């Protein structure tokens, strides 16, 4: 009955990176899965992608410390990119590159994990969105650029500021639910997933955020 976090070394979408698209689609049909969002954000609250050392930390990439690792640096980078693309579309896809040393990289993972489970953290969340002047021509996208199309509905349940009677040490608090509907390239809807988020902005600068997957009925 105690709160727990389940960490998976691999996720279901990883398999699509090692299969031909037609084989993956056949597997989806066999399992009667109509939309990949069921396997992606419908199953995992977050996805952490730790970029291979072969990309940005080449001097530390070696086969000597892992008996089952056989990939050359070039192949490792290719597989890393395909695996990352398999998860594009998850709202909490976090990428940890090799811009820092390994210990700092792991600390970034710990900080992000703390934020996701609602523990106090000074980790700043930066979300970038763009307002386009016109609808983009998706056919012009390079083949190596992965993208997903969604229709998002967000409903705010409440919002309270310090003057509204927030809890002690809380500057602002709000909560919302979200419905994300995947859109096929043909324009058809292929399925929806649902989530709940609660955010507290503390007086000491910390941000406490809680998320969980909810059902259609709860939504």
Task: Kindly report each contact of residues 143-152 with a partner whose C-beta sits within 8 Å and lies 24 or more positions away, as own/partner.
Answer: 144/81, 146/85, 146/88, 147/88, 148/88, 148/89, 148/182, 149/182, 149/183, 149/184, 149/185, 150/89, 150/180, 150/181, 150/182, 150/183, 151/180, 151/181, 151/183, 151/189, 152/178, 152/179, 152/180, 152/181
User: Is pLDDT at 71 greater than 80 in this prediction?
Assistant: yes
User: Is pLDDT at 95 greater than 90 in this prediction?
Assistant: yes
pLDDT tens digits for 105-160? 999 998 888 888 877 666 666 778 889 999 888 888 888 888 888 899 999 998 87
Residue 52, pLDDT score = 94
Q: Average of pLDDT values for 169-188?
A: 87
Strand partners, 196: 177, 212
Percent of the chain with pLDDT over 90: 41
pLDDT tens digits for 6-33? 899 999 999 999 999 899 999 999 998 8
Q: Average of pLDDT values for 25-53?
A: 91
pLDDT class of 162 with cuts at 50, 70, 90: low
Tokens read off for 21 = 């698209």
User: Is pLDDT at 163 greater than 80 in this prediction?
Assistant: no
Residue 123, pLDDT score = 64
């Amino acid at each position: 009955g105690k709160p727990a976090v389940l960490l998976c070394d691999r996720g279901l979408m990883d398999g699509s990176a090692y299969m031909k698209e037609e084989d993956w689609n056949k597997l989806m049909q066999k399992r009667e899965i109509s939309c990949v969002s069921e396997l992606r954000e419908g199953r995992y609250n977050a996805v952490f992608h730790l970029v291979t050392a072969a990309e940005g930390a080449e001097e530390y990439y070696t086969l000597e410390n892992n008996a089952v690792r056989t990939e050359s640096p070039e192949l490792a980078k290719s597989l890393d990119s395909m695996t990352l693309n398999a998860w594009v579309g998850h709202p909490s896809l976090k990428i940890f590159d090799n811009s820092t040393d390994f210990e700092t990289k792991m600390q970034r993972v710990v900080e992000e994990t703390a934020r996701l489970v609602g523990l106090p953290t000074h980790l700043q969340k930066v979300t970038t969105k763009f307002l386009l002047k016109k609808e983009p021509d998706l056919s012009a996208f390079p083949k190596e650029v992965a993208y997903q199309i969604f229709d998002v509905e967000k409903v705010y349940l409440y919002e309270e500021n310090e003057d509204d009677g927030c809890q002690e040490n809380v500057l602002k608090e709000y909560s919302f639910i979200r419905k994300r509907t995947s859109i096929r390239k043909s324009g058809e809807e292929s399925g929806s997933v649902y989530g709940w988020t609660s955010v507290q902005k503390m007086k000491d600068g910390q941000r406490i955020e809680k998320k969980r997957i909810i059902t259609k009925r709860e939504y």
